[in-house]
Amino acid sequence: MSVQTLENTMEKCETTTSDAAPAETPARSLFTRQTGQALITLGTLFKHVPPFNESIDKSTGDTLISIGKKLKGKK
């Protein structure tokens, strides 16, 4: 069995401060969406998988899912 990993290189971005809101870099946007997906998956795991849902409160899973959806929705 082999494992294939993909590594994205992050280029250094220089930004200047101005009155307008700074634009998100593509790497940051990707990280935010992936973090959101991970939180949704973890929340679903906490809600529906028996070893977890017996010891973790249901509201914890719901909270993780709602935070994950908010992060994943940003583009």
pTM: 0.61
Q: Does residue 49 lie within any of the structural domains? A: yes
Question: How do residues 37-54 score in pLDDT, each as one tens digit?
Answer: 999 999 999 888 888 778
In a domain, 47, yes or no: yes
In a domain, 13, yes or no: no
Residue 5 located in a structural domain: no
Written as six digits, the tokens of 41 are 């998956």
Q: Are 66 and 39 in contact (CB under 8 A)?
A: no
Tokens of 67: 């935070």
Domain tally, the chain: 1
10: Cβ contacts below 8 Å, ≥ 6 apart: 27
Which residue reads 């017996």 in tokens? 54
Query: What band does 5 get if pLDDT is binned at 50, 70 and 90?
Result: low
Query: How many Cα atoms within 13 Å fall on the side-chain side of residue 53?
Result: 11
Q: Is residue 2 situated within a structural domain? A: no
Q: Which residue reads 């990993």 in tokens?
A: 5
Domain limits for position 31: 26-73
